[in-house]
Amino acid sequence: MNIQEILNWRYTTKEFDSSKKIAPEKEAAIKALLRMSPSSINSQPWHFIIANTEEGKKRLAKGTEGFFSFNEAKVLKASHVVLFCAKTEISDDFLEHVTNIEDKDGRFAKEEFKQQNLGAKKIFTNIHRYDLKDTKHWLEKQVYLNIGNFLLGVATLGIDAVPMEGIDMKALDEEFGLREKGYTAVVMVGLGYRSESDFNANLPKSRLPKEEIFTEI
Q: Is the pTM of this model over 0.95?
A: yes
Mean pLDDT (the chain) is 98
Instruction: For the chain, give the percent of residues with pLDDT over 90.
Output: 100
Alpha-carbon distance 104 to 29, whole Å? 23
pLDDT confidence of residue 177: 98
One DSSP character per residue, 38-92 reads --GGG---EEEEEE-SHHHHHHHGGGGSGGGGGGHHHHHSSSEEEEEEEES---H
Q: Which residues belong to the active site?
A: 14, 74, 165
The candidate with the shortest Cα–Cα distance to 12, out of 142, 168, 192, is: 192
pLDDT confidence of residue 109: 98
pLDDT confidence of residue 102: 98
- Name 192's bridge partners: 160
The 160-164 sheet, strands edge to edge:
46-51, 80-87, 183-192, 160-164
pLDDT confidence of residue 98: 98
Q: Give CA separation, 28 vs 97, 119, 214, in Å.
A: 24, 34, 36
The SS3 of residue 183 is strand
Q: Which portions of the chain are predicted below pLDDT 50?
A: none
pLDDT confidence of residue 161: 98
Alpha-carbon distance 11 to 199, whole Å? 11
pLDDT confidence of residue 1: 74
β 183-192/80-87 pair status: antiparallel
The SS3 of residue 34 is helix
